[in-house]
Each structure stands twice: as structure tokens, then as C-alpha cells.
Amino acid sequence: MGHIHANNDPIKNDRHGLNGDDGNDPADRNEHAGTSGGGGAGAGAGALTVIEQKPSSSSSIIRKLRSPSTSRKGKSSSSSTSSYLCGLACFGTPPTFSSVGGEENGMASLRVPDIVPSPADDCQKLRKAFEGWGTDEKAVIWILGHRNSSQRKKIREAYQQLYNKSLIADLYSELSGDFRKAIIWWTYDPPERDARLAKEALQTRKKGIKHLLPIIEIACASVPQHLIAVRQEYCSLHDCSMEEDIPESLSFPVRKFLVGMVSCFRYDKELVDSELAKSEAALLHEAIEKKQLYHDHVLWILTTRNFSQLRATFAVYKQDYGTSIDEDIRKCGNGDLESLLKVLVCCIDTPEKHFAEVIRIAIVGLGTDEDSLSRAIVTRAEVDMKKVREEYSNMYRVSLDSDVIGDTSGDYKNFLLTLLGSKT
């Protein structure tokens, strides 16, 4: 079971109430928009927009870009009756739900009632759930698990104003285990949550690149505005930049790519130059063929081009050279740089496939990687989780929901299923 990282303890670090909340939190001003081929690593609904940037002759802008070359496991479950009764308790009448977040393509799995109570009403119900000898976890899930990021922000602010206490701190004291960690991640503003995930990832001293996945997801499966918001939050929380915290223990090529990823600001519109895609596919192929993945051309192309342009480049690469770019990178070896670039390409090209793989790896085998499972579901529920679920089913011939049910239990399971939209 996972635990809150010592340096990310919300009791020590939460700004929303323990030190007062002035309503001017940078994270609140930067509700991020979803993503190009994949939404935010942490997605904020309400203000969130998911853009499916597929090049089309009618909508894509064609413009010449400067080229670098041319200068486990219980199975307890709650019945539908108990969920229904919880809904009656919270709302008085059975609510109806709509999928929200990622409104442009309807790919969010989060379901919000068509009629949402006021933040003050939600706060009162949460406060009641915390009172007494035990905590009413079902009520906590029912309320927070059916609110988008802007609504959760208003609940946090109202809770602070009504009770002079931090909602995050009360969740930390009232809940436990993986359920607590997942619901706290969910309750944070997406940029703040991802800044905390990034800090924890950069503090981990493990071999390989698995612990760096949150960094890659934030940089390559989020729109540029979200990355900027995360960087601002990171500086505010930790008094240093993400770039400064990238550990020297990593190899120089891996550090170079990580710094390039987190410090860039990509153009965020659908902009595709077919000639440039062909020329840069050739540059990438040459570098990969010579096993020079660290070449500056590779760094420049992968860390600066907009997502639509890169997907066009990847498509041309496969068309011209017969294999996909990630397959050719795999042939270069199994080092950290090769592993990082394969994840980078997947996050840009097919983020739903990346997150389906993250969830599958977290579930299969001996024991469950609850942190990875929670991160994938929490960060994509308001972005493209419907696409992730579809991809998961296509790849593994089993539903994501059934695997979550079989591999988790109790309130943790019920919360994840709520975010997946399969439990109301």
C-alpha cells in the first residue's frame, strides 16, 4: 500500500488553509486545458479543454517552420443499492449525471450531476462525514468523486472559509492508505498535484526511468499551458525550478532530454508542415540508424515541435522507412535513454496507449503498484479516460474496470471506479 511522501506531506505543505488561502493561488489561476493527443497529466475539468489534434486538410494550418538543419487483493464491493442510498443522502433525490471535462471530444470518464449542490452544501456534507467515531467514506467519494476541478477548487475555498481548516488536511487525518493518497491527489488543483508528483519523482533515487514517468507525462501528454502552470507551482512549493532538481545521478543524455522537455513551450495549435515532417523524419531516422539518439537534432525536434507536427513526422517516418519510430528506437538497445525516448514518443503520439500500459503493468504480476494505478486514473479521468479504457480493452482483451475490481478493494476500489465513470 502506498504512503504520502514525507516531503509532500499535505499536513506540512498544504497552502489551502494551514497557512491561509487568499484565493490567489497560482494553481487556481492556471486551470489547465487538456491535451493534444493526450490531455494533461493532471487534468482539470471545468476550465479544462481536450483538443484532439488530428491533422485535417480543412482545419490544419500549413506553415513552414524553422528546421534545425536549415536554420494485492481483496474483492469486496458495494451494492448499487448502497450507492443509490448515498445519493439520496447527499442530494435528496436520485441525481442524473453527465460526463464532463474534455468537453470537446467527450473522452473524460468523470461524471458530474446535472444539478450540483453549492460548495457550502458540499462542505457541510463533508464535515458531517468527518464527524463522530468513524468517517463516512462513501459520502466523501460521492461528493468529491463527482466534481470537476473547478468545482473542487470552490469546495476547498468554501471549506477553508467556513471552518478555518484545510480540506486537504482533514482528508489526510480522516482517511488512510492508498484511498487517502488517491483522493488527496484528486482534490488538489491539477497543476499543484502534478508539481508534487514531479517533486516525488525527482527525489527518487532508483535505477531505470520508471520513476520519471510523471515528468514525461506532464511534459509530453499535457498542453503547454499546463506544463507552465506546473512549473510555476513547482517553484512556489519548493523554492527551486524543476530543471534544478533533475538529479546529477542520471546520465548526461537523459538529463539533457529531461531539461529540454520541462523547459520548452510548444506551440499549442494544430500546425502541420508536411515538407518539414518529411525532412525531420529523415533526420530522426539517420540519428537512430547511427544510434546517435543523443544528437541535438533529435533533442530539438522532440522537445520543441508542436504535437500535431510531431505526429505527422512519426507518420511519415513509418511510411518512408517501413517501421514505426518507437520500434527503431527499441532496436538501439535497452538503456535509459532508449527507454525514455520510447515513452516520450508514445505520450505524444498515442497517450491513451501509454496510460493503458501504465495501468496494465501496475496491475499484473505479484502485488499491485497502487501509486502508478492511482496516478493514471486520477490524472486522466477529466481528460481522455474513455479512450484509455477503449485502448486497454483492445490491447488486453479485458475491460479496465474488471481488472481494477479484481485487483483493488474497499473504498480505494470504489473511488477508482467512480472516477472511471462505472460507479454512480
Tell me what pLDDT residue 14 has: 60
pTM: 0.79
H-state helical runs in 381-420: 385-396, 400-407, 410-419
Instruction: Say how far apart CA 50 and CA 38 lie, in whole Å.
Output: 8
Tell me what pLDDT residue 13 has: 55
Parse the chain into domains and list their residue ranges: 11-55+78-424
Looking at the DSSP assignment, which residues form a beta bridge with residue 111? 99
DSSP 8-state code for residue 111: E
Reading the block at residue 44, the C-alpha cell is 482539470
Name the amino acid, one letter, at 219. A
Phi-psi region of 421 (alpha: psi -120 to 50; beta: other; left: phi over 0): left
Instruction: Say how far apart CA 245 and CA 242 lie, in whole Å.
Output: 5
Nearest to 233 by CA among 180, 268, 194: 194
Tell me what pLDDT residue 386 has: 96
Largest CA-CA distance found in the chain, in angstroms, rounded: 69
Nearest to 294 by CA among 344, 327, 256: 256
Tell me what pLDDT residue 206 has: 84
Tell me what pLDDT residue 9 has: 54
The pLDDT averaged over each successive group of 10 residues in the chain (424 residues) is 45 47 40 38 35 36 41 39 45 51 69 96 98 94 97 98 98 98 98 97 89 97 94 97 91 95 91 97 97 96 96 98 97 95 98 98 92 98 96 98 97 98 79
Contact 144, 418 (CB under 8 A): no
Which residues touch 35 (CB under 8 Å, ≥6 apart)? 43, 50, 51, 221, 222, 223, 226, 307, 351, 383, 384
* Interior angle at CA 305, CA 302 and CA 307, nearest 5: 90
